[in-house]
Amino acid sequence: MKLYMVSLGPGDFELITVKALRALKNSDAICVPTKSPDNSFTRSMTYKIIQKLMEEFDFVKPIIPMYTPMHFKTEDWQNQVNIIHKSFEEYNTLSFVTLGDSAVYSTVYYLLDLIKEQNSIVYEKSEVIPGITSFSNASAKVKKPLCIGDGSFSIMPLHKKDVPNTTVYMRPKIGMKTAEIPQIGQMFTFENLNFKGENIFEQRKDIVDKYMTLFIDFVQ
Ligand SMILES: C[S@@+](CC[C@H](N)C(=O)[O-])C[C@H]1O[C@@H](n2cnc3c(N)ncnc32)[C@H](O)[C@@H]1O
């Protein structure tokens, strides 16, 4: 059993990662969100990307519609989780797909939180596959960096004020003491991700050992 939470990138099928494409090809079926209550895909960007990928890379998978009304209600996420659980009666490997990157305002973590509470086996067998965000794509299109030199950048939702703020801290100096990095939520330390000596600590490491270190203060 395997549940892939697959980030599809910002809408251009060529901006999907190799890992995401492999996950889709390895899946027995693909769960695709739709805003249409009749489960049609006429307005679904996600569906179009999946169709294009299947055409271009020569594979065909059954599509499981996931009605996603975007009302931010637990019952709507629960319905989607129920569909995933039910689908595992028929299929062994499933992908749930989301636009852009799953880390940024995606349904993925509403679903995973419920799955974690309700079915620890499926949660353990789940894997989140990251993707290219809409704003990375926007930056590339106009050839303007989001941050460079001493700069930083923020992501702010426009629908509300005074929102919780997760912060990513990058570009530390080797040997630097980290006690002064502000911490509001749960701080993680990531070292040498995907390289030799990868380490992930569920805390702020006291002293920076490697240049390839980033800290994330998760406040959600
Ligand atoms: C629910 S969030 C999803 C973000 C997505 N997970 C990502 O990684 O970019 C939707 C918002 O992302 C932005 N967005 C997503 N795709 C976009 C696109 N293709 N063009 C412009 N903005 C986009 C818009 O601000 C939109 O309201």
Report the alpha-carbon angle 183-184-190, nearest 5: 50
| Mean local confidence (pLDDT), 148-168 | 93
d(CA 100, ligand 1 centre) in Å: 7
The Cα-based distances of 67 to 35, 76, 122, 142, 197 in angstroms read 6, 8, 21, 34, 42
The residue extents of the domains of the chain are 2-134, 164-220
pLDDT over 90 at 28, yes or no: yes
Q: Is 11 in the pocket of ligand 1 (CB under 6 A)?
A: yes
d(CA 10, ligand 1 centre) in Å: 7
For domain 2-134, the CATH class is alpha beta
Q: Is 134 in the pocket of ligand 1 (CB under 6 A)?
A: yes
Provide the percentage of residues in the chain whose pLDDT is more than 70: 100
d(CA 31, CA 172): 40
What is the predicted pLDDT for the residue at 101?
Answer: 98
Gap between the terminal Cα atoms of the chain: 29
| Mean local confidence (pLDDT), 75-81 | 96
